[in-house]
């Protein structure tokens, strides 16, 4: 055998078995077995055994093979034994498995038979293979009817898309329910019973091997009852939400664990002043002050109440809340535990009882005051209680009560516990006057005085500083009166911020003043009678309410006269003779109820009962009573008051009847009426409104006002807001609107006039509104016709002067903005008077109409023609240069010249003089334009008539026009200043002041311009009425101020120009402005002699009207006209102002002296006083005294002075 041998050794398994390996060993036959570490341990052991047996280190192959064979045989025996053991174990396992399968099948069948869900086994083709008894009950099929049918017989909705087969649908549902699916929830779909009824079902599908094939297992549950329960729960939740949202009180739900609200209704948001989002971020501790009014900590007390609710109780308690503005609100709270799965919820119902508590505090305070009065407490103590009554019920106020001295001219003392002492003393020492504060003024005027801001009010002129130093700003005072009307003092209520009292505060003041009056009057009566019993009797008998005391058995012990009179008895003794007060009650059960309540509660307040008068009449009374006890606390009887409220009850019934009558009235009046709530939703419409809007009451109720009352502007056709919307936002009537057109429900249009007013409750809150409207279609049509007549000339149909001025003004504004260019033609017919004189006025009218037609053919459609008066026309050319205007004017002139007017057998021709003026951006105003056009027209006439002339201002005229503009601007910007010059009486010096008013103009540089520089231009260009109007207005305002302050009124002389006399609007202004006789009697109007004669009829009319009102007149510059004396008999003048040219040289010139003497004698004969102007020297003054002139005026006596220096 060679050194290299290949041995094939089977090491880990029998021959041919998996895992056999082949090992190649290069061996040295003489090497020991340990020299071959790669040999299998068994082979090394065999080699070692062979060497031991042979004793030779050289291996014997035959021996080796025998050893290997023996080893393999041993292994084979072991393998066969192992296989047999495994077979036996397998047989036993199969037997156990068959037994377990049989048992599990039985268990599964029992489960399937009793499970509440439908279980189906469906093969991969969608055919039902198993169907449990629950399925029979749910679907109404027997198992035999279903087995072999497709599953969509029971579940038609199992496929969800067009083209999807039942197997595909089952595979999709099984996939969505598999172990790897994200959504393992059951699917809801509609199933169908045998009778065809569809019902909602939940289905879950899984895929599993059954009977050696893949099957789908469907679990289905009928969820009809669950859905109905869920729907019922949703409806219940919705009803609960509706009840919560519409509950009259505030409702919140608190999560006790988080300490926050989780729900709140609208009233809760309104109560706390927070929106829902913010409210749900806080809890009760946040909305409460740190401590409750009794000193208890809010947090701990709230926790205790909440714990009571969680334990099943329903605590009801009063609680002080705090809203978002920090205002404390007294509320009544009711807590209820709300069941919840895993949260502790408590519902709170909160009612604001602030008003009730305030009424209770007021009643308690009044009762305390009456108690003090009854027990004869010192008057300052009683009055201090009254101040505290007001301060406790009207938060933020301080109060004082002042008691008058007997003579009523000053206060004897002032009770003001919370006043600074300096202020109390200052007011106490005040005399009764309108400048010493509200309390003194209220007594002085005998009425209530309300001062919103004492820092500005004249009532506090003398006591303002100490009041402001005390931090007070508003002061409201009410006089305190006795029952007979005598003033006893004054009650004052003060705030630290400006403002006026609310309605509730006014009621509190009135009641407190009444109480103070009772207290003071009682004290005065006590002092007068000098005895405690007499004092008590004074109050007892003066009170308006009936007061009584009775024993416990009901027998009356004491009654006041008011009690006797109220019940109609002749004397108190008749009442004392009654066995019991029960006889006075209409129903004896009422007296029994009274006794029960007063003895159980200790007192009874504001209880209404029916009583029987002595004559059998029924009374409604309001009774307040309490127990009387002795020192040991035993009940002695009852004492109380009764007030007769029969009339009030009748008034309430009358109000109800009035409401009924109002309803009937609304049904029958001719106006349409719509009323709404505070949100503008309709509550009522009357039949007329139904007719006009085409909405019935049933259809309109609840609709927004805008849906029924649809309005548009008849001019712009734009929608407009109805006046009711504005009325809902303020406590005042809305002004009736014009140009409103109602669009009815049927689409028709009705012109209406509407007005609206808010409806307010006693607190002044707007709770609704009412709108009244009526059909004004006919009136609107008539108004348009009148408006057309007001702006058009009736003869020619052209616009009139006023409308033309408006359009020129609009054109001027457009030109000043640089938008367009304009020109104006002023046309005056040349031979119109000839036509009138020759053919009569009818022919003249006909000529004007014909000329109108001629002009209309010569201008463009965009131009405006107007008849300015008589034979004058105006043409406004729009978008026209001066050159174009000249051509148009020349064309119009030539057309008029070529026109032949035929009247009967007469043929006449007329011409036209036309002034042309361009409207530029630097043109001042309409008056300048018309004046310029007028000047140009007259220039054309001066040049020979029948021609045109373009206005060109020369230097002098330009300066005058400049002054006209400055005067106009000064009047508009209030830069005119009033001066006065005294008119001195030469017969009775020192009498009533008499002054002539003159005007100055304050230039842009601040310099005063004398009237001589601007009056001539103002007279030339017809703006004197502007100056006259301003001076008259200033004079009347000055006199009105002096009259209101109680100062004597001087006589003021005001100059009127001839232009103003001829201007009807100015005359109307003067007649309207002069109102009170005292004011009229202090005005003297000066009219120049020339103006009076020139405008004689106007002067007579104005003088007559103003004389009837009490005004005086002076004829100025008298003596300059040759006919002066002729008109004196017809003009009702009071003064003749002699022209200054006769006065200046009267001492040297005998002619002037004679003229003055003559005027003086004529004036004396006619009873007219004379006034000399221009008195400049002592000599002139002495001569005037000698002649007998009544008054003198001039710089020798006094220079003109600013009106501020007018003597008072």
Q: How confident is the model at residue 1134 (pLDDT cuts 50, 70, 90)?
A: very high
Q: Give tens-digit pLDDT for 1099-1129.
A: 888 888 889 999 999 998 887 754 457 677 7
Q: What is the pLDDT of residues 376-430, one digit of tens each?
A: 788 888 888 888 888 877 778 899 998 988 888 888 878 888 888 888 888 888 8
Q: Which residue has the tokens 């099957």?
A: 215
∠ CA 670-673-674, nearest 5°, is: 160
Is the pLDDT score of 965 beyond 70? no
Evaluate whether 578 touches 585 at the Cβ level (below 8 Å): no
As a whole-number percent, the residues of the chain with pLDDT over 70 amount to 85
> Which pLDDT value is given to residue 1085?
93
* 3-state SS string for 517-532: HHHHHHHHHHHHHCCH
Confidence of residue 25 (pLDDT cuts 50, 70, 90): very low
> What are the beta bridge partners of residue 622?
608, 643
Confidence of residue 805 (pLDDT cuts 50, 70, 90): very high
Neighbour count for residue 379 (Cβ, 10 Å): 22
What's the CA dihedral at 371, 377, 382, 384 to 10 degrees? Answer: -130
Torsion of CA 48, 50, 54, 60, to 10 degrees: -120
Max distance between CA atoms of the chain, in angstroms, equals 201
Q: Who has greater pLDDT, 808 or 239?
A: 808
Closest CA to 282 of 308, 264, 300: 264
Once rounded to an integer, what is the mean pLDDT over residues 850-866? 92
Q: What mean pLDDT comes out for the span 1146-1167?
A: 90
pLDDT above 70: residue 100 = no
663 pLDDT band (50/70/90 cuts)?
low
The residue that leads in pLDDT, 116 or 1152, is: 1152
Residue 919 has pLDDT above 50, yes or no: yes
3-state secondary structure of 21: coil
Return d(Cα 128, Cα 135) in angstroms, integer: 12
Instruction: Report the mean per-residue pLDDT for the chain.
Output: 82
Mean pLDDT value across residues 21-33? 51
Q: What letter does residue 153 receive in the DSSP assignment?
A: G
pLDDT at 650 over 90: no
pLDDT (average), residues 478-501: 90
Q: Residue with structure tokens 């065999």?
A: 46
Query: In this structure, are strands 1083-1088 and 1051-1056 parallel, antiparallel, or unpaired?
Result: parallel
In which band, very low, low, confident or very high, does the pLDDT at 894 lie, cut at 50, 70 and 90? very high
Give 1083-1096 pLDDT, tens digit per residue.
999 998 777 777 77
Question: E strands, 248-327, where?
Answer: 250-255, 260-264, 316-322
d(CA 723, CA 772): 10
Q: Per-residue b/e over 205-233, b at no fewer than 16 CB within 10 Å?
A: bebeeeeeeebbbbbbbbbeeeeeeeeee
Token digits for 379? Answer: 């008057």
Decide if pLDDT at 186 tops 70. no
Instruction: Please state the rounded mean pLDDT for residues 480-499.
Output: 89
Quote the pLDDT of residue 181: 43
> Cα(370)–Cα(936) distance, rounded to whole angstroms?
90
Q: What is the DSSP letter of 262?
A: E
pLDDT tens, 516-562? Answer: 888 888 777 777 665 556 556 666 777 778 899 999 888 998 888 88
Section 695-710 average pLDDT: 88
Identify the residue with better confidence: 178 or 814. 814
pLDDT at 1078 over 80: yes
| pLDDT for 16 beyond 60 | no
Cβ-based neighbour number of residue 833 at 10 Å: 12
pLDDT for position 70: 72
* SS3 state at 1175: coil
User: What's residue 17's pLDDT?
Assistant: 42
Q: 437: alpha, beta or left, given left = phi > 0 and alpha = psi -120 to 50?
A: left
**299 three-class SS:** helix
Which pLDDT does position 91 carry in this prediction?
63
Return the closest-CA partner of residue 667 out of 695, 640, 691, 641. Answer: 691
* pLDDT reported for residue 529: 63
Tokens representing residue 635 in the block: 């009940």
pTM: 0.32
Residue with tokens 């909405």: 695
For residues 582 and 591, what is the distance between their CA atoms, to the nearest angstrom?
5
Q: Which two tokens stand for residue 317?
A: 């308690």
Q: How far lies 1166's CA from each of 435, 1123, 1130, 1163, in Å?
A: 49, 16, 11, 5
- The span from the CA of 235 to the CA of 560, in Å, is 64
Would strands 1112-1118 and 1083-1088 be described as parallel, antiparallel, or unpaired?
parallel
Domains of the chain (ranges, CATH numbers) = 1-112 (no CATH), 115-222 (3.30.450.20), 228-352 (3.30.450.20), 357-535 (3.30.450.40), 549-647 (3.30.450.20), 668-760 (3.30.450.20), 792-952 (3.30.70.270), 966-1205 (3.20.20.450)
Half-sphere exposure of 802 (CA within 13 A, CB side): 8
Which pLDDT score, from 0 to 100, does residue 483 have? 82
- Please give the residue that has the higher pLDDT: either 1106 or 358: 1106
Phi-psi region of 1117 (alpha: psi -120 to 50; beta: other; left: phi over 0): left
Tell me which residue has tokens 């949260």. 343
Which residues are 260's β-sheet partners? 255
**By mean pLDDT, which of 477-486, 584-593, 775-784 is the weakest?**
775-784
How many Cα atoms occupy the beta-carbon half-sphere of 366 within 13 Å? 19
Cβ pair 699, 734 in contact under 8 A: no
Cβ–Cβ < 8 Å for 916, 824: yes
Q: Cα dist. 218→123, 145, 157, 178, 409 in Å?
A: 11, 18, 14, 13, 106
Residue 81 has a pLDDT of: 66
* pLDDT 10s digits, 559-571: 888 899 889 999 8
Contact 426, 466 (CB under 8 A): yes
Distance CA 721, CA 1071 (A): 39
Residue with the bigger pLDDT between 780 and 479: it is 479
* Model confidence pLDDT, tens digit, residues 1014-1071: 888 777 767 788 889 999 999 999 999 999 998 999 999 999 988 788 778 888 888 8
Residue 753 has pLDDT above 90, yes or no: no
Q: What is the pLDDT of residues 421-432, one digit of tens each?
A: 888 888 888 888
pLDDT tens readout for residues 627-643: 998 878 888 899 999 98
Q: How many CB atoms lie within 10 A of CB 719?
A: 11
Looking at the chain, how many residues does it have? 1208
**Rounded to whole angstroms, how far apart are CA atoms 142 and 148?**
12
Top-confidence residue, 397 or 969: 397
**Given a cut of 80, is residue 239 above it in pLDDT?**
no
pLDDT digits (tens, 9 = 90+) for 134-151: 888 999 999 899 999 998
SS3 of residue 257 by DSSP? coil
What lies within 8 Å, CB to CB, of 208 at 6+ separation is 214, 215, 217
């Amino acid at each position: 055998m060679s050194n290299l041998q290949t041995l094939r050794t089977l090491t880990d398994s029998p021959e041919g078995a998996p895992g056999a390996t082949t090992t190649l060993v290069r061996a040295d036959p003489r090497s020991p077995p340990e020299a071959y570490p790669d040999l299998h341990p068994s082979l090394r052991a065999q080699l070692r055994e062979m060497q031991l047996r042979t004793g030779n280190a050289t291996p014997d192959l035959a021996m080796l093979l025998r050893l290997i064979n023996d080893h393999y045989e041993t292994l084979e025996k072991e393998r066969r034994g192992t296989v047999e053991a495994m077979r036996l174990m397998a047989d036993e396992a199969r037997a156990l498995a068959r037994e377990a399968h049989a048992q599990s099948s039985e268990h599964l069948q029992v489960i399937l038979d009793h499970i509440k869900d439908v279980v189906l086994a469906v093969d991969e083709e969608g055919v039902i293979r198993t169907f449990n008894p629950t399925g029979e009950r749910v679907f109404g099929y027997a198992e035999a009817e279903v087995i072999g049918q497709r599953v969509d017989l029971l579940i038609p909705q199992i496929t969800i898309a067009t083209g999807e087969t039942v197997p595909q649908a089952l595979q999709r549902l099984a996939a969505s329910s598999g172990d790897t699916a994200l959504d393992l929830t059951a699917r809801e779909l509609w199933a169908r019973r045998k009778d065809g009824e569809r019902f909602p079902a939940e289905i879950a599908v899984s895929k599993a091997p059954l009977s050696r094939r893949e099957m789908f297992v469907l679990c289905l549950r009928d969820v009809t009852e669950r859905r109905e329960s869920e729907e019922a729960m949703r409806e219940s939740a919705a009803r609960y939400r509706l009840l919560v949202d519409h509950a009259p009180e505030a409702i919140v739900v608190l999560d006790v664990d988080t300490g926050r609200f989780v729900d709140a209704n609208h009233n809760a948001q309104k109560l706390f002043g927070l929106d829902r989002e913010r409210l749900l971020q806080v809890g009760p501790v946040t909305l409460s002050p740190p401590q409750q009014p009794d000193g208890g900590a809010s947090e701990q007390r709230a926790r205790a109440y909440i714990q009571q609710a969680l334990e099943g109780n329903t605590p009801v308690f009063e609680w002080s809340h705090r809203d978002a503005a920090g205002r404390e609100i007294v509320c009544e709270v009711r807590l209820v535990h709300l069941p919840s799965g895993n949260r502790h919820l408590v519902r709170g119902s909160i009612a604001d009882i602030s008003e009730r508590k305030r009424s209770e505090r007021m009643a308690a305070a009044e009762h305390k005051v009456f108690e003090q009065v009854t027990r004869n407490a010192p008057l300052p103590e009683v009055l201090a209680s009254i101040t505290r009554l007001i301060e406790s019920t009207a938060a933020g106020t301080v109060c004082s009560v002042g008691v008058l001295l007997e003579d009523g001219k000053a206060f004897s003392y002032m009770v003001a516990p919370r006043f600074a002492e300096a202020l109390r003393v200052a007011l106490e020492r005040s005399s009764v006057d309108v400048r010493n504060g509200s309390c003194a003024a209220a007594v002085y005027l005998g009425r209530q005085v309300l001062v919103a801001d004492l820092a500005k009010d004249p009532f506090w002129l003398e006591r303002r500083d100490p009041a402001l130093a005390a931090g007070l700003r508003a002061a409201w005072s009410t006089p305190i009166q006795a029952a007979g009307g005598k003033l006893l003092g004054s009650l004052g209520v003060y705030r630290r911020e400006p403002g006026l009292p609310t309605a509730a505060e006014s009621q509190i003041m009135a009641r407190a003043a009444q109480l103070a009056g009772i207290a003071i009057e009682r004290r005065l009566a006590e002092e007068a009678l000098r005895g405690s019993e007499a004092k008590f009797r004074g109050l007892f008998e003066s009170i308006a309410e009936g007061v009584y005391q009775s024993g416990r058995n009901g027998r009356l012990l004491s009654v006041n006269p008011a009690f006797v009179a109220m019940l109609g008895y002749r004397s108190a003794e008749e009442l004392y003779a009654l066995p019991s007060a029960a006889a006075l009650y209409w129903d004896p059960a009422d007296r029994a109820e009274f006794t029960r309540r007063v003895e159980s509660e200790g007192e009874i307040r504001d209880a209404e009962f029916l009583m029987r008068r002595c004559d059998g009449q029924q009374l409604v009374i309001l009774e307040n009573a309490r127990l009387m006890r002795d020192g040991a606390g035993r009940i002695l009887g009852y004492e109380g008051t009764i007030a007769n409220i029969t009339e009030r009850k009748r008034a309430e019934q009358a109000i109800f009847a009035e409401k009924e009558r109002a309803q009937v009235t609304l049904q029958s009046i001719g106006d349409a009426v719509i009323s709404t709530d505070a949100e503008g939703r309709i509550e009522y419409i009357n039949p007329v409104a139904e007719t006009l809007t085409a909405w019935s009451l049933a259809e309109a109720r609840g609709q927004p006002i805008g849906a029924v009352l649809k309005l548009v502007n008849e001019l712009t056709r734009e929608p407009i807001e109805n006046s009711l919307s504005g009325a809902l936002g303020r406590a005042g009537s809305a002004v009736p609107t014009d140009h409103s057109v109602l669009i009815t429900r049927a689409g028709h249009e009705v012109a209406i006039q509407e007005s609206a007013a808010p409806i307010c409750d006693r607190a002044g809150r707007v709770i609704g509104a009412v709108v009244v409207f009526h059909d004004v279609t006919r009136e609107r049509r008539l108004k348009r016709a009148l408006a057309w007549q007001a702006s058009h000339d009736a003869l020619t149909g052209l616009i009139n002067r006023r409308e033309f001025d408006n359009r020129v003004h609009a054109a001027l504004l457009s030109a000043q903005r640089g938008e367009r260019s304009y020109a104006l033609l002023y046309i005056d017919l040349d031979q119109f008077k000839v036509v009138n004189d020759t053919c009569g006025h009818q022919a003249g009218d006909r000529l004007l109409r014909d000329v109108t037609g001629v002009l209309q053919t010569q201008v463009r459609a965009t131009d405006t023609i107007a008849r300015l008066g008589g034979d004058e026309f105006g043409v406004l050319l729009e978008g026209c240069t001066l050159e174009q205007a000249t051509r148009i004017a020349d064309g119009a002139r030539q057309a008029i010249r070529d026109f032949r007017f035929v009247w009967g057998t007469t043929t006449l021709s007329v011409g036209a003089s036309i002034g042309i003026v361009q409207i530029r951006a630097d043109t001042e105003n309409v008056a300048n334009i018309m004046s310029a056009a007028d000047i140009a027209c007259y220039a054309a006439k001066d040049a020979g008539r029948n021609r045109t002339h373009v206005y060109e201002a020369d230097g002098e005229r330009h300066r005058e026009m400049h002054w006209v503009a400055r005067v106009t601007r000064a009047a508009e910007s209030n830069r005119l200043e009033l001066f006065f010059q005294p008119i001195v009486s030469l017969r009775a010096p020192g009498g009533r002041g008499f002054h002539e008013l003159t005007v100055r103009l304050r230039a842009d540089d601040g310099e005063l311009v004398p009237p001589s520089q601007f009056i001539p231009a103002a007279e030339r260009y017809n703006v004197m009425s502007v100056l006259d109007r301003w001076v008259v207005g200033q004079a009347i305002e000055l006199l009105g101020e002096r009259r209101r302050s109680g100062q004597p009124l001087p006589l003021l002389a005001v100059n009127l120009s001839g232009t103003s006399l001829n201007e009807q609007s100015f005359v109307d202004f003067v007649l309207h402005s002069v109102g009170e006789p005292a004011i009229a009697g202090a005005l003297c109007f000066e009219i120049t002699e020339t103006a009076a004669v020139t405008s004689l009829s106007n002067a007579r009319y104005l003088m007559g009207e103003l004389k009837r009102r009490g005004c005086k007149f002076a004829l100025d510059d008298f003596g300059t006209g040759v006919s002066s004396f002729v008109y004196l008999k017809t003009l009702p003048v009071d003064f003749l102002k002699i022209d200054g040219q006769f006065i200046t040289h009267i001492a040297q010139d005998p002619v002037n002296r004679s003229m003055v003497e003559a005027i003086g004698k004529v004036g004396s004969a006619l009873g007219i006083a004379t006034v000399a102007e221009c008195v400049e020297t002592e000599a002139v003054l002495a001569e005037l005294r000698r002649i007998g002139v009544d008054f003198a005026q001039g710089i020798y006596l006094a220079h003109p002075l600013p009106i501020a220096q007018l003597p008072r």
